[in-house]
Amino acid sequence: MTENPLQDVLTKDLLSDTLIKRSKSIPMWMKIFAWIFIVFGAMAPIGLVLGLLGYNFETSLYGLETNNPISLLGISVIMLFILKGLTAFGILKEKDWAINWGIVDAVIGIAICIGMIVYKAMYFSTFSIRLELVALIPYLIRLRAIKKQWETESII
């Protein structure tokens, strides 16, 4: 039995001085939104159950609005909230998959917002910029900027 004397040279204690936590690369405004979406994401399954029990309530996200949670649109909005909640949880808990999910979440959100702008302009002759884009575009830019760093850093 031979032991490798170099095996424990790069221990967590030695590396902790040179590595930073992943969460330090997430700005405060993203952390605040993440907590908000964790709450909404946790409430989404409750809304689904209430809808199955016959309760109607308004759900809205990215310009998608419905008063019937058990409809194609209602279930889509609830699933978007669940996606946002899981992504927010992953970002705050520094999960390996979190940045990729965040990028997908941001792209879906931007696409839906732009789609709703075009839809309402074409069918209702109204043009309004979705306020969500003000947060989604910087969110996507920030996630793309830290993606490589997130993938190469270890959690301390």
pLDDT > 90 fraction of the chain, expressed in percent and rounded:
62
- 29-33, 40-44, 126-130: least confident range: 126-130
Burial group, residue 28, by CB count within 10 angstroms (0-12, 13-18, 19+): exposed
Beta strands in 16-130 (DSSP E): 59-61, 64-66
Q: What is the pLDDT of residues 14-37, one digit of tens each?
A: 455 445 577 788 899 999 999 999
Domain total for the chain? 1
What is the CB-side half-sphere exposure of residue 101 using CA atoms within 13 A? 18
On whether residue 13 sits in a domain, the answer given is no
Residue in 147, 143, 76 with CA at minimum distance from that of residue 112: 76
* Cα 88 off chain centre by: 5
- 6-20, 47-61, 108-122: least confident range: 6-20
pLDDT > 70 fraction of the chain, expressed in percent and rounded:
85
Q: What is the pLDDT of residues 64-88, one digit of tens each?
A: 999 999 999 999 999 999 999 999 9
On whether residue 78 sits in a domain, the answer given is yes
On whether residue 99 sits in a domain, the answer given is yes
On whether residue 11 sits in a domain, the answer given is no
On whether residue 134 sits in a domain, the answer given is yes
> What mean pLDDT do residues 146-150 have?
88
Beta-ladder partners of 61: 64
On whether residue 111 sits in a domain, the answer given is yes
Domain hosting residue 113, numbered range: 26-146
What is the pTM for the complete model shown?
0.80
Question: What pLDDT sits at residue 129?
Answer: 84
On whether residue 20 sits in a domain, the answer given is no
Phi-psi region for residue 125, left (φ > 0), alpha (ψ -120 to 50) or beta? left
On whether residue 73 sits in a domain, the answer given is yes
